[in-house]
Amino acid sequence: MIRKVLIAVMAAMLLLSCNSSSSGIYKLGKRVVVSTESAKVVHLSPTDSLTGEYMNSVWGIHAILDSIAILDLYESSHHFRALNLVNKQFTDFLMSGRGPGEIITAYFSTARREGEHSFIDIVAMNEDCLLTLDLEETLRQGRAAVIEKNNILPQASPSFLIGGDKILSEVFFDEDIYSMKLYDKTSLEILQTVQLFGNERYLADYQPLFASTRRIKPDGTRISMSMACFDEINIYDIFGDNHLSISTAKKCLDERVVKESIRNRSLFRMAHYKDQDVTDERIYAIHCPDDNDSREGAVIHVFTWEGDLIGVYEMAESLIGIAISERENALYGLSSEEVLYKYRF
């Protein structure tokens, strides 16, 4: 009963926020086409590679925190793996199930470091909450050490924790076509609503289907988002109305092309950005050209947060995921063959 009342109150807050004033709703959209011809091309070869039992059932890499890699798992009762890159020891955590302390569905949200401690934020969809895990305690205990639990709106999936006091949530089922909402972490009060893509309505209509990877700038001021079927990196100013849609495609896909591609199931052969990771200065994104063969080597575009393409990395290895280690000045790339490669810049 209490839960239903809370949901009703939050839903009312949401409706009031959307209807109270247009000044609280930002409609964004500015497309910038960049050229890869002027960018510096660097060929990178791995300086190390990791494979073995600790790489079994790994299908994604989320972040590198100090010397710890946070990995996604499949065909496992656990959702995530923390791998120590120095001693090769690993800890699987966040058990999937229906018992006490277990969850049914979880999504990685944010990896961050505050002072001397490292934290991981994970969305537990069946409980409509955002879990904060202490990474050091998780490794010490051998299981997920949940230190904080924040309720989120049921329609927000997935969510991002920004700084220590704000949550940026993606909203699929709302009166808006597609939006993001910025909440106060404690009160869950809506501070700002963002409708993406402005007048590019066809993109707004299809965006929930194609949203691929999202990364928060470490200082919590911007978000970088790629889409599974569009050759674009979208950079949003969370606390303002700036939005850049950075593309290497000369022409923008129109509604006819999108609908025809959906009908003939050719959409996923279009150029797109597969995965990305960010630092305070750079955005690193794996670019897949049209009709990309997964066996081809990876191409990584490097952008500034102002949307400038400043470099292109080419590797012989095919990568499905990347993570940046600022401490080592290195890039880690995960292949579909469950090999974790290390490249030094």
Task: Write out pLDDT tens, residues 252-278.
Answer: 666 677 667 666 666 666 778 889 999
Smallest CA-to-CA distance from 233 within 187, 277, 175 is with 277
- Looking at residue 33, which CATH number applies to its domain? 2.120.10.30
Nearest to 309 by CA among 43, 44, 35, 31: 35
- 156 contacts 143 by C-beta, under 8 angstroms: no
In the predicted model, is pLDDT for residue 88 greater than 70? Answer: yes
| Region 291-297 average pLDDT | 63
Here the tokens at position 262 are 């959906």
Per the CB < 8 A criterion, the answer to whether 216 and 223 are in contact is: yes
Judged on CB neighbours under 10 Å (0-12, 13-18, 19+), 152 is: buried
Tens-digit pLDDT profile for residues 159-196: 777 777 888 777 655 554 566 778 888 887 888 776 65
Residue closest to 72 by CA, chosen among 323, 327, 343, 329: 323
CB atoms within 10 A of CB 17: 18
**Residue carrying structure tokens 């290497």:** 248
What single letter denotes the amino acid at residue 116?
Answer: E
How confident is the model over 76-88, as a mean pLDDT?
A: 88
Report the share of the chain in percent with pLDDT over 70.
71
Judge whether residue 320 has pLDDT over 80: yes
Query: Is the Cβ–Cβ distance between 344 and 329 less than 8 Å?
Result: yes
The pTM for the full model equals 0.83
Give the count of beta carbons closer than 10 Å to the beta carbon of residue 240: 12
pLDDT tens for each residue of 97-146: 766 667 767 888 888 888 888 999 888 877 778 889 999 999 999 888 99
Rounded distance, CA 186 to CA 299, Å? 41
Looking at the structure of the chain, the number of domains it has is 1
Cα–Cα nearest to 217, from 156, 131, 283: 283
Beta sheet of 330-334, edge-to-edge order: 48-50, 340-344, 330-334, 321-325
Element (H, E) at 304: strand 299-304
Sign of the Cα pseudo-torsion (81, 82, 86, 89, in order)? negative
Domain of residue 91 covers 2-344
- pLDDT attached to residue 254: 65
Confidence check: pLDDT of 70 > 90? yes
User: What would the mean pLDDT of 295-308 be, rounded to a whole number?
Assistant: 89
User: Mean per-residue pLDDT for 223-240?
Assistant: 80
The answer to whether 93 touches 78, Cβ cutoff 8 Å, is yes
Please provide the average confidence, as pLDDT, over all residues in the chain. 77
The verdict on whether omega for the bond into residue 154 sits within 30 degrees of 0, i.e. cis, is no
Band (281; pLDDT cuts 50, 70, 90): very high
Q: Which two structure tokens, joined as six digits, stand for 30?
A: 């500015």
* pLDDT tens by residue, 204-214: 555 555 566 88
Structure token pair of residue 291 = 């009709």
Does 158 have pLDDT greater than 50?
yes
